[in-house]
Structure 1
């Protein structure tokens, strides 16, 4: 009955159930383990029963699900319920800690000394293990079912992961959370602090096929960036990881266009969190001034999708200078990629000063005199017409005439 009330279409019923009913049920029946087990099952089943995005067997889209309004609502409130249960999960883990040599008080984090004892495998600790052995794998599975447009649900998962790192502590984040998600995106990770009894389960999260790798990049990488490396204590590591993805990766790997697009999408999701804009732009500038043509094109494509999360000040000081630099590149592919990005800026920002800079830049592109440049400018600005200022809207007939 509690789950029915939590998933009620009425927001008032949901709020009351989460704040009033949930604590009472847990305290009255000591049913936390059962609630957690049913909760994860409901989250996954609510998504899995939705139709696939595509009927083409073996495609990435055939693994993604089209959520209806009801299913989306259910998953969202169930993820909220999961977040509400986090303090109870932490308390249960502390109360059942089998290592008496480590003192545990309410509200404490899990120190590395405790994780070392846990890794020794001398005692079972299922209440502690539930988070990384059951919860994280199920959330990873959920993330690999969500198409790009489900940012709200992805945001819910991310905030839950950030809450886990805050409540469980930096040692847990570093030695437990991070390895789980690194393995799940296909990277190598140190499992020293895991009990040997679950090593195989954690290693089983690693994608084994090209399709699984793409799903991991699409679904898990955004969570790794924003929900794990996005923690305040991991800013330096986040920058290093982004540099590996965006700067070092294209140089070393013969990366497919689709994988690049999926990485760009993951960074786009990271940019929905304003606190990470500075790190992203530092890496972006390295890409803009690179000698690698593909990296410059990636930079333009990334600027195109993240500008929607920027305000006018950030666009003026960071986005436009980067695009002007790319727009003056001698390589035509880089130049045309920047034109599309300028169109995205015009679409999302109505600041007159920014619009004027875009118009001046478009004039510079048109001076090129090529049919390709003119076509690219018109295509970019036509997309922006319904959203831009009258000044730029009046500029388009001039282009066509």
Structure 2
């Protein structure tokens, strides 16, 4: 009501009196002790903007808002400041204020409050982008300055990468995609031919990603839904039949923006899942906004050119590190998932199969493929597709590719529902576990372990247990050093989370056997390898509850065998093991004593109860009311 009164007054009296009579009221209360009053000041700066002299708007009012954004402690006040800044941006016509506007946008984006950041995306950025478009700065200054900031961040090295800042810049860039598309449409060769006829195909509901606010809706940016429909029809026709000659705004996207983005993506560390997810979402929004023809003819070819996947190219991959970089998961999850027709899914499957083959045959790290699987696997809609890719690996002629497929199953087990695990994952792993190549069989162990850790179906667990038992008990594998290493490593990883019965009846007895046989190992470095791995596994399992019987029969004897190895191989490990053994022996003794004293302690607790009752009845006699009882426990002031 107060704001409506101020606006009615401002309309009536004109700019000069608003400046002289109303603005000082705001200025004086900028540091008022009540946040509600400061909120009113922040909101009135925006509400009164249209009725102020333009010099005052871009000087005094802008300064007031800048001060409040930087200094006000209340989130709701800064949120109102950001919204008012959006309104001010819509009225400022002094190009010299552009830099100040950009700095205010960055300040708002970096705010610690989510409310303020949301308001920045919903109001400030669309308003600032509209002004930048008016000035002709969107493609020449605003987007390039954000890209340069991203590049500078990445130059600091992946270990000191400030992920929060990267998110901030990328999210701003993402909010600029709709205005950028607006610029491309409004500066196209066909704009003079736009007519709002009745035969324009209506825009599909899913044609554009959902805008963060109405101000980010492309229809709003270009004027109306009808105008957008007419422009889109000509846009698609132009791309399909007439090309991009003379279309500078689109050529800038194709020749400047995309290559720079793809180059940035190639410098991101695959291990940074947050960055991958952010860039993936950015490309997804870009491709969805610019449409299918653009994605197929302009975006995909640029990625394909860099990734150059082909059978002949396998040897070159060893030197072509790009396949091990973030480019692979971002292309797979940000570009190839944009559209969901049959041919799009086929392209994604084919791409992942090619990456799997090329990385395997060139002995390259699998991180980029794993990252693609993790990002896609987060969405159940892609589980079938990922299993199709892996089945291609299972039946591949090269043992290297089959090994990779076996290792990739481990990533899928946790996210996929149990029916798919039973129908598709376990059969594939069983196939691989009888592979002619021992290396392939060994590669299935981590996935089998993860199944033991995550699945609850009894018969499925039994099948997996039988398979692991055959690895451990078949004489064929008696001297398989790398198989034993993989099994011990897997036991250490999944043992603490697996069901207790499996741990007690399977994991601990087998670790005991492996520790015993390692005492007989004559090859020094093999003995050290296994001892090191056993040490890791026992350390992980020592925090579990282990029954006395298992502790006495398997856990302690296994630890003692391991101590024998470490006495010869690593004295510092031997010290730790001795204290672990002492601790376990104490636990066993205490439990035995505890049981013997069980009957005594029950009697003691009964006596304890009796004493408690007596004490409480005494307290009751001391005080006549509950209030006085409370006073007994209050400290003297």
TM-score calculated relative to the size of structure 1: 0.79
Residue number in structure 2 paired with 1:387: 497
Query: 1:90–1:167: 8 Å Cα contact kept in structure 2?
Result: yes
Residue number in structure 1 paired with 2:511: 400
Residue number in structure 1 paired with 2:410: 304
Deviations 1:282-324 (A, max 9, x none): 1221321334322211211221233343233332222222111
Residue number in structure 2 paired with 1:130: 252
Superposed, which structure 2 residues align to 1:2-401 within 5 Å? 2-29=105-132, 30=134, 31-33=137-139, 34-49=141-156, 51=157, 65-68=158-161, 71-100=162-191, 103=194, 105-106=227-228, 108=232, 110-111=235-236, 113-114=238-239, 116-119=241-244, 121=245, 123-126=246-249, 128-186=250-308, 213-231=320-338, 232-233=340-341, 234-246=344-356, 249=358, 255-258=361-364, 262-347=368-453, 349-353=454-458, 354-369=460-475, 370-372=478-480, 373-394=483-504, 395-401=506-512
Query: Does 1 or 2 have the higher relative contact order (CA < 8 Å, sep 6+)?
Result: 1
How far apart, CA to CA, are the structure 2 residues paired with 1:21 and 1:287? 49
Q: How many residues align?
A: 357
Distance 1:261-1:47 versus aligned 2 partners, 3 A rule: closer
How far apart, CA to CA, are the structure 1 residues paired with 2:494 and 2:433? 18
- Once the two structures are TM-superposed, the CA of residue 187 in structure 1 deviates from its matched residue by 5.0
Distance 1:368-1:4 versus aligned 2 partners, 3 A rule: same
How far apart, CA to CA, are the structure 2 residues paired with 1:4 and 1:165? 29
Give 5+ residue unaligned stretches, structure 1: 52-64, 189-208
Distance 1:290-1:124 versus aligned 2 partners, 3 A rule: closer
Distance 1:376-1:131 versus aligned 2 partners, 3 A rule: same
Q: Which has the higher helix share?
A: 2
Residue number in structure 2 paired with 1:58: none
- Once the two structures are TM-superposed, the CA of residue 175 in structure 1 deviates from its matched residue by 0.5
- Once the two structures are TM-superposed, the CA of residue 257 in structure 1 deviates from its matched residue by 1.2
- Once the two structures are TM-superposed, the CA of residue 87 in structure 1 deviates from its matched residue by 1.2
Distance 1:211-1:367 versus aligned 2 partners, 3 A rule: closer
- Once the two structures are TM-superposed, the CA of residue 211 in structure 1 deviates from its matched residue by 7.7
Query: 2:378–2:415: 8 Å Cα contact kept in structure 1?
Result: yes
Greater Rg over alpha carbons, structure? 2
- Once the two structures are TM-superposed, the CA of residue 326 in structure 1 deviates from its matched residue by 0.9
Query: 2:109–2:168: 8 Å Cα contact kept in structure 1?
Result: yes
Deviations 1:161-209 (A, max 9, x none): 2222222211111111111111122359xxxxxxxxxxxxxxxxxxxx9
How far apart, CA to CA, are the structure 2 residues paired with 1:271 and 1:230? 12
- Once the two structures are TM-superposed, the CA of residue 336 in structure 1 deviates from its matched residue by 0.7
How far apart, CA to CA, are the structure 2 residues paired with 1:284 and 1:242? 9
SS state at 1:258 partner: coil
How far apart, CA to CA, are the structure 1 residues paired with 2:398 and 2:322? 27
Query: 1:355–1:389: 8 Å Cα contact kept in structure 2?
Result: no
TM-score calculated relative to the size of structure 2: 0.51
Deviations 1:319-357 (A, max 9, x none): 22211111122321111111122123334x252535444
How far apart, CA to CA, are the structure 2 residues paired with 1:261 and 1:343? 20
Deviations 1:336-380 (A, max 9, x none): 111122123334x25253544432321122231314344432322
Query: 1:293–1:331: 8 Å Cα contact kept in structure 2?
Result: yes
Distance 1:101-1:170 versus aligned 2 partners, 3 A rule: farther
Distance 1:82-1:257 versus aligned 2 partners, 3 A rule: same
